[in-house]
Structure 1
Amino acid sequence: MFTGIVQGIARVENVIAAPGLSTFVIEFPEDRVQGVTIGASVAINGTCLTVTRQEGHRLYFDAMQETLRLTTLGDLKPGDETNFERAARIGDEIGGHLLSGHIHTTATIVDILRPENNVTLWFELPETWAKYIFPKGYIAINGASLTIGEVEGNRFNVHLIPETLRATTFGKATKGQKVNIEIDSQTQTIVDTLARLGYDRPATV
């Protein structure tokens, strides 16, 4: 499990393609790989991956074609930066909200507003997932636990403070960029339960 509190920015050093598999060689800040072991889980842009090899502060991760298809990892290339979070341990503070590291869908940044001292990002996601998006609800974007601001159809925004921009890759976000989305599990459970009970049907006059 993860908390959605991004622990830093890592850099993709190499992507090794093989039939049905891609291996990512990712360079981490040196002080962030202490105690890591083969088989450990690390969220890369919110996607839970398993450490398969370590060389100093470079970690290796394998991703199957299905993972590459469902997430933005297939677009990563050497030099790209990613958010990362190592798996939470029992007793860790949950500063964001509990995440599984299993990506539900991707969204596209459609607008970036820069009022004084913060940034507002607008995202568009597939209509299928819009039913889980509520103002003031939780969402994980590229592994960062964030609070949803406004919602307009299948578009929503989040407001980012300078510390979030500093500690994550959102400080270099661009329009048209795709991001990984993990829907809040509690929200999904409530919405799906109500749907099974018939409460998602439009009211009739």
Structure 2
Amino acid sequence: MFTGIVQGIATIENVTEAPGLSTYAIRLPEDKVDGVSIGASVAINGTCLTVTRQEGSTLFFDAMQETLRLTTLGDLHTGAPVNFERAARIGDEIGGHLLSGHVHTTARIVEILRPENNVTIWFEVPEAWTRYIFPKGYIAINGASLTIGEVRDNRFNVHLIPETLRATTFGDVSEGDRVNIEIDSQTQTIVDTLARLGYDRPAPTL
């Protein structure tokens, strides 16, 4: 499990592609790899990956074809920055909301507004997933726990303060970029339960 509080920005050092599998070498800040072991879980842009090897502060992860299909990991290239969060431990403070690291879908950045001292980003999601997106609700975008602002059809926005822009990759995004989306599990459970009772349309097919 993860908390949605991004612990820093890591860098893609290398991507090795093989049929149905990509291996990522990702360099974390040196002070963030203490106690990492093979088999540990780390969220990379919100996607839960397993450490397969370690060389100093560089961790290696394998991503299978299904992971590449459902996430933006296949878009990553050498030198790209990514958000990371190591798995939460019992007793850790939950500063965001509980996440599984299982990406539901991707969204595209359609507009970036920069009023003084903050940034508003508009995202567009596949129509079927809007059933889980509500103003003031939780959502995880590239592994960051954020509060939804406005919702218009299949678009929604989030408002980012300077600290979020500093601590994550959101300070360097552009219109047209794709991001990973994990829907809030409690919201999904409530909406799907209502759907089974006949109060909503069926859940999306993955």
- How does the TM-score come out when normalised to structure 1? 0.97
The residue aligned with 1:82 is: 82
Q: Offset at 1:161? A: 0.1
Q: Offset at 1:33? A: 0.3
Q: Deviations over 1:45-73 (max 9, x none)?
A: 00000000000000000000110011000
**Please, which runs of 5 or more residues in structure 2 have no aligned partner?**
202-206
Map 1:42-81 onto structure 2 (within 5 A).
Answer: 42-81=42-81
Q: Offset at 1:165? A: 0.1
- How does the TM-score come out when normalised to structure 2? 0.97
Which aligned segments of 4 or more residues in structure 1 are displaced greater than 4 angstroms? none
The residue aligned with 1:137 is: 137
The residue aligned with 1:28 is: 28
The residue aligned with 2:96 is: 96
Q: Offset at 1:18? A: 1.2
The residue aligned with 1:150 is: 150
For residue 187 of structure 2, give the secondary structure of its aligned residue in structure 1. helix
Q: Offset at 1:198? A: 1.1
Q: Deviations over 1:167-200 (max 9, x none)?
A: 0000001000000000000000000000111112
Find the aligned partners of 2:198 and 2:153 in 1 and give their Cα distance.
Answer: 21
Letter in 1 for 2:95: G
For residue 10 of structure 1, give the secondary structure of its aligned residue in structure 2. strand
Moved more, 16-25 or 85-94: 16-25
Q: Deviations over 1:124-182 (max 9, x none)?
A: 00001000000000000000000000000110000000000000000001000000000
Find the aligned partners of 1:109 and 1:78 in 2 and give their Cα distance.
Answer: 22
| RMSD (Å), alpha carbons | 0.6
The residue aligned with 2:119 is: 119
Find the aligned partners of 2:195 and 2:99 in 1 and give their Cα distance.
Answer: 23
Find the aligned partners of 1:23 and 1:198 in 2 and give their Cα distance.
Answer: 44
For residue 108 of structure 1, give the secondary structure of its aligned residue in structure 2. strand
Letter in 1 for 2:166: R
**Number of equivalences:** 201
For residue 68 of structure 1, give the secondary structure of its aligned residue in structure 2. helix
Find the aligned partners of 1:26 and 1:126 in 2 and give their Cα distance.
Answer: 29
Find the aligned partners of 2:118 and 2:173 in 1 and give their Cα distance.
Answer: 13
